[in-house]
Amino acid sequence: MSLPSSSLKAAIVGGGPAGLIAAEVLARAGVAVTVYDRMPSVGRKFLMAGRGGLNLTHSEDFERFVTRYAEAEPALRPLIEAFTPEDLRAWCEGLGQATFVGSSGRVFPKAFKASPLLRAWLTRSESLGVRFALRHTWQGWDAQGALVFTDAAGRTVKRKPDATILALGGASWPRLGSDGSWAGVLQAKGIAVAPLRPANMGFVLPWSEVMRSRFEGEPLKRIALTFEGVTVKGEAIVTADGIEGGAVYALSGPLRNVIEGKGSATLLVDLRPDLSLETLEKRLSAPRKGQSASTFLRKAAGLSPLGIAILRESAPQLPAEPEALARLIKAMPLTLTGTKPLERAISTAGGVPFSELDPNLMLRRMPGVFVAGEMLDWEAPTGGYLLQATFATGIAAAKGVLSFLRIPDAALTSNPSSATRHT
């Protein structure tokens, strides 16, 4: 077992992927590291994210990759350049978890789930000397600058490390550990925190009782969604009070922003993106031969029962003219009136602005305190971008701690083509 060689101590508050990867970097450099988490075990949201397949990162071209972070790209680019998608795959494989690229370009461990990776990761972290203090709820700092926790028995625990990394996550899925309560603690210290808002979430719209009773939970497959000139192909799912799913999440940021400003947003749905308008119009010009509207739409336009029902939601009186009907099928408007709540979102927008941090992710107002992961003010679509930036910021914060403590960095992996080249 490798034990810390330095007398310097670091505390990491939060046992998600950002905190765990930061702990590994620090422990490899010989720092005595303790990870504090209010839950009985670490990595709970990480495990939840991997329940349907752990999407670690994405294989697309790097220049395209970093554009996914929109306004946060300038701040995140150097951090992701220092720990790229290739580096993340090499790190994962160093834990005995080989990866593969799916048909969509997304990267997964071959085991597909998160649990084998997390088990191997925690075993290695403990072998490096990382300690875990679970059921410790962070309360902030005392007057002397010590970290204050409440343990499982309700007792107050104080610690004063040489450096601290805050990696408490956002505020989505609070039952898994991240409830956003840290925002008030930082604001009391004069640190700006952008409001925490849902990201990669579903939206609310007033379905009819027919839609709710017959189609709740049904997938709307092979569609294309368009908003503000951006089109995304994929799937969506009808919920009792709205719509969600991968294609919706990809447009969720702009949709949310417009709804916040105007009270609603109109999403255009192409129910047959594989057919041109002209081809669809030609098919709809065929004689109906006594068929009902639903039967005709199913046979001529290839619409599913859900597609027909959702079309009627948009236009109870369907156009009789083939051209107008084809245009409706290719650009059916859905008026979204709200977002699903933050606690049900996949991720969180808002948090600590990069302007509050130096290039090493240290709080300018609090030397020795660093911030990583979803606490930072950035958002990205699903597809591997969330975890990639979470890992990259965790590593950047840990390297910032090493610089602050004047301790040499250590390689994160043994692969000479990976993270070591950025050291």
Query: pLDDT at position 282, please?
Result: 97
Closest among 305, 372, 364, 405 to 169, alpha carbons compared: 372
Tokens of 117: 């990776």
Q: What is the SS3 assignment for 167? A: coil
Query: pLDDT at position 5, please?
Result: 60
Query: pLDDT at position 419, please?
Result: 37
Query: pLDDT at position 50, please?
Result: 73
* Spans in the chain with pLDDT lower than 70: 1-6, 413-423
Pairing status of strand 230-239 against strand 219-227:
antiparallel
Chain Cα centroid distance, residue 170? 10
Q: Return the half-sphere exposure (C-beta side, CA atoms, 13 A cut-off) of residue 326.
A: 17
User: Would you say 261 and 270 are in contact if contact means Cβ atoms under 8 Å apart?
Assistant: no
Q: How far apart are the first and last CA of the chain?
A: 24
Domains of the chain in sequence order: 9-198+346-422 (3.50.50.60), 203-339 (no CATH)
Query: pLDDT at position 414, please?
Result: 45
* Overall pTM surpassing 0.85 (yes/no): yes
